[in-house]
Amino acid sequence: MRILFAVASYLVGSIPTGYLLVRAADRSDIRQAGSRSTGATNVLRVKGLKYAVPVMIVDVLKGYLPAFLGLRLFHDPFLAAFAGFLAVLGHCFPFSIGFRGGKGVATSAGAFIALAVPPTLASLAVFILTVALTRFVSLGSILAALTFPFFVLLFRGPRTVFVWGLAIAVLVIFKHKDNVSRLLGGTERKLGEKAA
């Protein structure tokens, strides 16, 4: 049962929300524009708020539900945190569209909320403050993901949540490697700048 649940967590995470919504709207591939990601930030830049909001909501739920159900059905923080990681992995590498998905930010946020609310709120504050000061969503996303596992330790949360939270953070940072290069090179787009 636990193996099936783990597989289901990856499958739920791998639903390519942004890709499907943009494809249904105008038959285009969101991965051919902007940052080439299927996530809400790229959808916002390419298609606008009308498309980005539902993408973000569904992507958050993709992370929240596996982690929440892992806790509710199995009462197992390890399985819940692992399920959250698998959902993020599925979002980043969805099998249905050639393993080219999003960067895992919204899905990570959903998993984090289900696993540990106070650390998630602290990481959200880091995200908001970073974006407010720099207007770099990518930098805010990286710092929020990176700080979450350490906030778990600060709030004395389960060690398994720290471990899988750190694994999620590494995955999110890996998916932002191009953003890191652009940040270092001074060419990263700021919030509000349209993509080509």
Task: Express each pLDDT in 157-192 by its tens digit.
Answer: 999 999 999 999 999 999 999 999 999 999 998 887
Give the C-alpha distances (Å, rounded to integers) separating 20 from 96, 109, 110, 140: 11, 21, 20, 26
- Note the residue count of the chain: 196
pLDDT band at 193; cut points 50, 70, 90: low
| Residue corresponding to tokens 């299927």 | 38
d(CA 121, CA 80): 19
pLDDT at position 45 is: 87
Give the per-residue pLDDT at 194: 61
d(CA 6, CA 101): 19
Which pTM does this prediction carry? 0.93
